[in-house]
Amino acid sequence: MAKFKLEKKTLIYDGRIVRLVVSDGTIRGRKARWEVVHHVGSVGIIPFITKEKIVLVEQFRYAVGERLLEIPAGTLHKGEPPLAAAKREIREEIGYAAGRLEKLDIFYPSPGVTDEFVVIYKATGLKPSKLAADFDEDIKVRVIKLSDALKYVREGRIKDAKTIIAILLIARKK
């Protein structure tokens, strides 16, 4: 990329979650354009309520037009460290406080298009907590066995990247 010469950067949209910036320039004399979706970053948490049972959430995802089974997750608030966001999200989405959060991985969901990163934690020592006031009624909480989750990944019933990665990484450690 040493030969990329930036000529113009245009802010197209600056919204609630995404900020779209288009960069125009040249590479080795040829015109080039990058469309980058800037994103503040996300966290996902795989919560164990027993050694074998995890908590997933099922919700309608407007962007893809279907209900998906996922680990609890969410976007970072401005300036919020990922660990704090993880604690907030498990309280908000499934009504638990985590005794222990262990970082499992950090990855880029789609590095060709967006700088979004996702930090995944394993949560243990869960204690029921009050559901947050802005609890989303559309989120259904599902307790399932890790072995079943793994089967859902293999069968393609779990389609969300962070959930697939969390389950496969945990399965490797067992």
Report in angstroms how near the CB of residue 26 gets to a second copy at its nearest. 13
Instruction: Rule CB under 8 A: choose which of 83, 97, 114, 129 binds a second copy.
Output: 114
Contact in structure between 74 and 93 (CB atoms under 8 Å): yes
Residue indicated by tokens 């498990």: 90
Our finding on whether 23 is near a second copy (CB under 8 A) is yes
Tokens of 156: 């393609």
Stretches 45-53, 82-90, 121-129, 151-159: which one binds a second copy (CB under 8 A)? 151-159
Nearer to a second copy, 64 or 84 (CB): 64
Closest by CA position to 42, among listed 143, 99, 125, 110: 110
Nearer to a second copy, 4 or 128 (CB): 4
Handedness of CA 82, 54, 52, 166 (dihedral sign): negative
Our finding on whether 139 is near a second copy (CB under 8 A) is no
- The burial of 89, by beta-carbon neighbours within 10 Å (0-12 exposed, 13-18 middle, 19 or more buried), is given as buried
Under rule CB under 8 A, which residues in 35-54 are in contact with a second copy?
Answer: 35-37, 39, 42
Report in angstroms how near the CB of residue 84 gets to a second copy at its nearest. 19
Residue 171 CA: distances (Å) to CA of 164, 167, 168? 11, 6, 5
- Residues near a second copy (CB under 8 A) are 1, 4, 12-13, 15-18, 20, 22-23, 33-37, 39, 42, 60-65, 68, 70, 73, 75, 105-117, 138, 154, 156, 159-162, 164-165, 168-169, 171-172
